[in-house]
Amino acid sequence: PGGSRDPPRGDVRGGGRLLVTGLTGLYDERGKKRSDFALADVLGVSYLGTNRYPDYYSDQAPPGLLRGEAFKVEPHDAKTLTYFLNPETIWTKGTTVLWQDPPPDPAQRYPLVTLNRFGNGQCIYIAASIGNTIFQNVRESGYLDTYPVKLLREALRTLEIQPSVITTTMGTEVVLNKHKEGYVLHLINHLAGPPLWLSDTDHGEVRGVEVAIRKSKIGNPTKAMELVTGKVIPLRQEGE
């Protein structure tokens, strides 16, 4: 309701739910940086700048640095759910730190996950590039840090969002596009080869991955296939 003239602002105001991460909305359609998020009023936070440390801690995460970029924001209407903390220093070969990772600095504490009520709806903002963090960790170190995934799942649960697509895959990009004829779900395996993934390293094929589609949201699936080979993948329907 009220979203036809001003989506997604109107959609959230009318009772919708919105999940935003990283620098979404900070750049215009020409790639020019804005002074603040395009939906700053919906997010309930304003952009301050990129965090100067390449890694950060979460006040709710298990011990260990989170490898990835975070951003500093200032809440004006939003409630902070989770904070991130910078390490006391950046680890280098010339830095003497037990177990290499420097401890978190309580004085450098910034909002990581915020929740804002906008009209009749709600918006969660995560001040980090979650998708980039997941892929970067695996590509550089072959290690999957599940905490960014946990952040996304908890955000969806808080917003009471029922996903249209549920999948067991990790490290595979899942894109759902809406067309006039219906929907197209596209899986792209960026990480064929690493032992973390059930994949065929010679052909880059995704193996052992389950994908479920919620029929009440996007309808009955009609066809599944491998784009490279044209091989048809059998479908199975069970309830919703």
- pLDDT 10s per residue in the chain (240 long)? 334 457 789 999 999 999 999 999 999 999 999 999 999 999 999 999 999 888 899 998 666 778 788 999 999 999 999 999 999 887 766 665 556 678 889 999 999 999 999 999 999 999 998 877 777 766 666 666 778 888 888 999 999 988 888 887 766 778 889 888 889 988 876 655 544 444 444 555 556 678 889 888 888 888 888 887 888 988 888 888
Predicted local confidence at residue 190, as pLDDT: 62
What is the C-alpha separation between 90 and 104, in angstroms, rounded?
Answer: 11
What is the C-alpha separation between 16 and 150, in angstroms, rounded?
Answer: 22
CB-based burial, 121-157: b 16+ in 10 Å, e otherwise: bbbbbbbbbbeebbbebbeeeeebbebbeebbebbee
| 86 residue type, one letter | N
| 220 residue type, one letter | N
What is the C-alpha separation between 174 and 157, in angstroms, rounded?
Answer: 19
Please report the beta strands in the chain, taking only residues with DSSP state E, as ranges in sequence order: 17-21, 45-50, 55-58, 66-67, 71-75, 79-87, 104-118, 121-126, 165-167, 172-179, 182-189, 199-200, 205-206, 211-213
Kindly report, residue by residue over 75-92, the tens digit of the pLDDT. Answer: 999 999 999 999 988 776
What is the C-alpha separation between 126 and 212, in angstroms, rounded?
Answer: 26
What is the C-alpha separation between 51 and 92, in angstroms, rounded?
Answer: 18
Predicted local confidence at residue 55, as pLDDT: 86
Predicted local confidence at residue 5, as pLDDT: 58
Q: Which residue has the tokens 């969002």?
A: 161
Q: Which residues 6+ apart lie within 8 Å of 154 measured at CB? A: 113
Q: Which residues 6+ apart lie within 8 Å of 1 measured at CB? A: 10, 14, 15
Report the residue count for the chain: 240
| 167 residue type, one letter | T
Predicted local confidence at residue 201, as pLDDT: 46
Predicted local confidence at residue 209, as pLDDT: 74
Q: Which residue has the tokens 């995934």?
A: 149
